[in-house]
Amino acid sequence: MKPPPFDLHRPESLEAALELRDRHGDEAKLLAGGQSLMPLLNMRLVRPSYLIDLNRVAELSHITMQDGRVRIGAMTRQRVIENSAELASHVPLLTDATRHIAYPQIRNQGTIGGSVSHADPAADLLPVLIALGAELTLRSTNGGERYVPVQDFLTGYLGTIIAPQEILTAVTIPLRTDVPYQYGFAKYARHRGALAIANAAVVVRQAPAGSYLAASVTVGGIGPKPATFDLTDRFTSCTRGDTAALGRAARHAADAVADQVEAEADALVSEEFRRQTCAVVCEQALRQALLGKGIEFEGVQQ
Amino acid sequence: MSTHRITVTVNRTTHEAAVSSRISLADFLRDQLGYTGTHLACEHGVCGSCTVVVDGRAVRSCLILAAQVDGRMVLTLEGLAESGRLHPIQQALLDHHGFQCGFCTPGVAMSLYELFQRNPDPADDEVEGYLSGCLCRCTGYGGIRRSVAALRANAAHGEERIRGQAD
């Protein structure tokens, strides 16, 4: 199992990479961490004439806090993200979920931008980035730049709106500053490190008076792209700390989400199994966020 | 198909080579340099047999191109033992029957190398994370886990420190 022949480019600047991207267009694939693209090449499921390796482009690897947002360079390794104390204190949902991606040996090489661009509907980062309201920066030559929310970037199974001359350069996440937020992430897979059969990311926003202002869940692994459900109505009348009532509300909300998703069958599981698994991970993620059994986050001072 | 001139340090020896663009690091190590201790099985990143350490990090050598290790430091199973003495990881695997059939062993050893370089007394969860990335088709992780337990005990008693290159 060896890749088909291709010409390899190893540019050392974003400018050079963009120039190559412009020159080769559809005939080239961008190589980030390679943890999804290299298997596709080895299995000859993709046959690009050119590979543009971004691993030498140092300017694509960074974590920057600025103006109430965190900007993560597209080539930042998943291992760097999960071990970042700065990210753990500002966006714990991201660091927590990143640890669920495959194995340390894969995360050592895999990148945030590569994972988003590969657009596997079972990727753990996708529901998380959507739940966090992340936005992607797409660069093209002549300094052209556009900003696209993650959910608008994805078109379906392994599909995105990126143009052949563009490069995904950064993922920007707004930092929550006003009121406390609580997060949850849950995943079900056949074994540790396997791709998710279903995963769920929850963001809950507390109300000052002891209830909740907003709640939503984004589920992945179910259909061709992650889906977000607003659950605010289900929690505004709940009181924080009322574990019994919150547990019940979480259960009912999770069941309602599972009823609405368009679950797909695949070689591993039936549609019904996936739907039920969706209910389970939604409930786990909600309980984590609401009952403080998971990651909790107190907000950031600007 | 492009050809690339690379300079790479493998097991403390510097090699200069011309590599074809599509040659993986695993095939380069095995076929061009003769380091056949790196085993290839699934060739799509799932099994972990081909795991080697590049600049201190355990990575799949089937998912990296040889051209990409230009200027970098690679450590393979052959580089663990020094001066005819087994590395503590190899000794622990030997003492506790962690080798079993031996096919996944190179990946297990190199994964444990990174793990213990970072933390001589890793938490259970951390150990499980690394071992989940190593597929043993003997399906018996008992020996491997006992080897890890011995390495942790060694570290706790300060008897056999894990040696190796710094990150």
> Model confidence over A253-279: pLDDT tens digits?
999 999 999 999 999 899 999 999 999
Rounded percentage of chain B residues whose pLDDT exceeds 90:
87
Show the tokens assigned to A275.
Answer: 């739907």
Flag whether residue B102 sits within 8 Å of chain A, measured between CB atoms: no
Distance of CA B108 to the CA centre of its chain: 7
Task: Assess whether B102 and B142 both reside in one domain.
Answer: yes
Question: Which of B48, B79, B110 delimits the end of a domain?
Answer: B79
pLDDT of residue A182: 92
Closest residue by Cα to residue B74 from B6, B8, B7, B165: B8
Task: Assess whether B39 and B96 both reside in one domain.
Answer: no
| Secondary structure class of A107 (helix, strand, coil) | helix
Q: Is residue B164 part of a domain?
A: no
CA–CA distance, A160 with B143 (Å, rounded to integer): 45
Nearest to A192 among B27, B63, B128 (CB): B128
Question: Which of B36, B55, B79 delimits the end of a domain?
Answer: B79
Q: What is the residue whose two structure tokens read 């989400």?
A: A257
Show the tokens assigned to A110.
Answer: 């895999």
Closest residue by Cα to residue A4 from A50, A36, A53, A52: A50
Give residue B107's domain range: 88-157
Please indicate whether, in this complex, the C-beta atoms of B57 and A108 are within 8 angstroms of each other. Answer: yes
B166 pLDDT tier (thresholds 50, 70, 90)? very low
Flag whether residue A157 sits within 8 Å of chain B, measured between CB atoms: no
Domain ranges of chain A: 1-54+61-175, 181-297
Task: Assess whether B150 and B92 both reside in one domain.
Answer: yes
B159 pLDDT tier (thresholds 50, 70, 90)? low
CATH of the domain at B18: 3.10.20.30
Q: Are B51 and B111 in contact (CB under 8 A)?
A: yes
Nearest to A8 among B51, B65, B130 (CB): B65
Alpha-carbon torsion angle B40, B43, B45, B51, nearest 10: 20
Task: Assess whether B52 and B104 both reside in one domain.
Answer: no
Q: Is residue B64 part of a domain?
A: yes
CATH of domain A1-54+61-175: 3.30.465.10
Chain A residue with minimal CA distance to B51? A105
Give the helix/strand (H/E) hosting A155: strand A154-156
What predicted TM-score, i.e. pTM, was given to this entire model? 0.94
Residue type, A253: A
CA–CA distance, A222 with A65 (Å, rounded to integer): 33
Q: Quick one: how many helices (H) and strands (E) in chain A?
A: 12, 15
Please indicate whether, in this complex, the C-beta atoms of A8 and B59 are within 8 angstroms of each other. Answer: no
Task: Assess whether B122 and B62 both reside in one domain.
Answer: no
Show the tokens assigned to A238.
Answer: 């709940």
DSSP A251-290: HHHHHHHHHHS-----SS--HHHHHHHHHHHHHHHHHHHH
Closest residue by Cα to residue A28 from A55, A2, A1, A46: A46
CA–CA distance, B103 with A247 (Å, rounded to integer): 47
Question: Which of B38, B54, B79 delimits the end of a domain?
Answer: B79
Classify residue A122 by its DSSP letter.
Answer: T
Task: Assess whether B10 and B65 both reside in one domain.
Answer: yes
- Domain A181-297 homologous superfamily, CATH: CO dehydrogenase flavoprotein, C-terminal domain (3.30.390.50)
Angle at the Cα of A75 from the Cα atoms of A69 and A78, rounded to 5 degrees:
80
CATH of the domain at B136: 1.10.150.120
Task: Assess whether B122 and B145 both reside in one domain.
Answer: yes
Flag whether residue A44 sits within 8 Å of chain B, measured between CB atoms: no
- Kindly give the confidence (pLDDT) of every residue in chain A, 302 residues in length, as a single tens digit, with 9 standing for 90 and above: 899 999 999 999 999 999 999 999 999 999 999 999 999 999 999 999 999 999 999 999 999 999 999 999 999 999 999 999 999 999 999 999 999 999 999 999 999 999 999 999 999 999 999 999 999 999 998 889 999 999 999 999 999 999 999 999 999 999 987 778 999 999 999 999 999 999 999 999 999 888 999 999 999 999 999 999 999 999 999 999 899 999 999 999 999 999 999 999 999 899 999 999 999 999 999 999 999 764 444 444 32
Task: Assess whether B19 and B61 both reside in one domain.
Answer: yes
Side-chain-facing half-sphere of A104: CA atoms under 13 Å: 24
Spatial strand order in the sheet of B73-75: B13-20, B3-10, B73-75, B51-54, B57-60
Task: Assess whether B22 and B72 both reside in one domain.
Answer: yes
Chain A residue with minimal CA distance to B114? A105
Q: Is residue B97 part of a domain?
A: yes
pLDDT of residue A197: 96
Count of domains observed in chain B: 2
Contacts for A269 with CB less than 8 Å, ≥ 6 apart: A197, A277
pLDDT digits (tens, 9 = 90+) for A197-226: 999 999 999 998 889 999 999 999 999 999
Please indicate whether, in this complex, the C-beta atoms of A2 and B27 are within 8 angstroms of each other. Answer: yes
B 42-71 residues inside an 8 A Cβ radius of A? 43-45, 48, 51, 57-60, 62-65, 67-68, 70
CA–CA distance, B146 with B140 (Å, rounded to integer): 11
List b or e across A145-177, with b for residues whose CB sees 16 or more CB atoms inside 10 angstroms: eeebebbebbeeebebebeebbbbbbbbbebbe
pLDDT digits (tens, 9 = 90+) for B12-54: 999 999 999 999 999 999 999 999 999 999 999 999 999 999 9
ipTM for the whole complex: 0.93
Task: Assess whether B146 and B94 both reside in one domain.
Answer: yes
Mutation site for A-interface testing, chosen from B5, B23, B68, B69 by largest number of A Cβ within 10 Å:
B68
Instruction: Look at chain A and count its residues.
Output: 302
Q: Is residue B166 part of a domain?
A: no
Name the pairing type of β-strands B13-20 and B3-10: antiparallel
Please indicate whether, in this complex, the C-beta atoms of A104 and B65 are within 8 angstroms of each other. Answer: no
